[in-house]
Amino acid sequence: MRKIDYAFWTFLLMTGLAGATTLLNVTQTYSATSSQNSELYKQLDLFGDVLERVRSDYVEKPDDTQLIESAINGMLSSLDPHSSYMSPKNFRDMQVQTRGEFGGLGIEVTMENGVIKVVSPIDDTPAAKAGLMANDLITHLDNEAISGLTLEQAVEKMRGPVNTPINLTIVRKGRDDPFDVKVVRDVIRINAVKSHAEGDVGYVKVTTFNEQTHANVLKAIETMNKQIGPNIKGYVIDLRNNPGGLLDQAIAVSDDFLEQGAIVLTKGRNNEETQRANARPGDISDGKKIAVLINGGSASASEIVAGALQDHKRATIIGTRSFGKGSVQTIIPLGANGAIRLTTARYYTPSNRSIQAKGIEPDIAIEEAIPDDLKAKMGAEKPRGEASLRGHLKNGSDENAKLEESGSASYVAKDADKDTQLQYALSFLRGTAKGPEAANAGTQPSATPPPAPAPGAGVTTPTPPADDKKPTPN
């Protein structure tokens, strides 16, 4: 009986101690949480006080919506350069660019001296069928002058519902008077992939990673295989100045050339946010040699593809160090209030390399030959990269942060014959390359021509650079 009594009281004592410990922990946790919430509410009260003071005392009546949007954007942009708030309109525009299709005319345009200049009409689109030509100047839209509009505002007016007409007033060199052209809008698809045969080598240029990219790459490889035939030496995958785009498209394009193994790893704040994408059997290039071109304008999704093919030794990376954007942005819709683009993870190559603020180093470093007239304009301007962006995410530990490097040159010659990196890649695939020293003769590694593309699109959705000099499709 004494043993039973002793066991009973021991059990009772241990249960009491366990209960007291649990209660103490819960109390401490609640106290800590309560304290944190209390501090947060104080800060929110401060924000409310400042907002009311601005609304009541600012020299001009402010726009309440603009104030709140700016406050939200300020909060997000203070986290890192790639987190931001998107208004409902910006969110809709982003979705259009992500889908890669919209209702429009089918021309690439830019702004020049206050009017819209046609860079080029897209084949088989309403603009091409209506006879619009490169270098045409558009001065009026439906008889309303473009003067005073930004490029984005003018493009928005030219886009619209399918089968609706718009009247363009055109000024064309060689014609004395302006003339009107009526164009009926249709579905315009942005082809993210351009390809052609370079003799016995297939050339594939990927400009962005939207919803059409993977399908377009498949089509391009199939077309070139038919054109060149069984004697094809290999493929050049040109990712230069590609600012990124959709993560799933980067994975799919990498998978196109891999038989097995990891493609990319994403690691978030919590374990459940850590994911790994693996390749499936099937190489659309049948094991042919691949050269991937990168430069300082290759970012995000481009770096995922280059890193995966490099780690698996499936491709030789040629060019200069990439931008170094190794973070993943997730688009979180806010109903009718737009959306937020939030950095939620870092990504790593198959060998567990983080390229955040470091970039992908090429296997063969080839600097692009920059014309003398451009060298004089650029002066001592340093290349831009993730590491040069204020508030960028650090590359993990302090030791890794010491290895951060800014990007590299992003100039690409328009003439393929003068494109140093492309010509070296072609000779490499053909087995006639003489070595990088010969290709690099006379180049300037530190030069970066203006205007450089502004990579940093996140890999969950693309963020086009805000650059009025860049052609805009519509």
Catalytic residues: 300, 311, 325
E strand map for 22-106 = 84-86, 101-104
463-469-473 Cα angle (round to 5): 60
Q: Whose CA is closest to 428, among 436, 416, 437?
A: 436
128-132-136 Cα angle (round to 5): 145
- The answer to whether residues 120 and 108 touch, using CB atoms and an 8 Å cutoff, is yes
The residues, any chain, with a CB within 8 Å of residue 288's CB and separated by 6 or more, are 232, 233, 234, 235
DSSP label at residue 440? T
The two three-digit tokens of residue 188, written as one number: 């315009």
- The answer to whether residues 266 and 347 touch, using CB atoms and an 8 Å cutoff, is yes
What does the alpha-carbon distance between residue 301 and residue 315 come to, in Å, rounded to a whole number? Answer: 16
- Dihedral sign for Cα atoms in the order 18, 19, 20, 22: positive
What does the alpha-carbon distance between residue 245 and residue 95 come to, in Å, rounded to a whole number? Answer: 12
- The answer to whether residues 404 and 397 touch, using CB atoms and an 8 Å cutoff, is no
What does the alpha-carbon distance between residue 465 and residue 457 come to, in Å, rounded to a whole number? Answer: 8
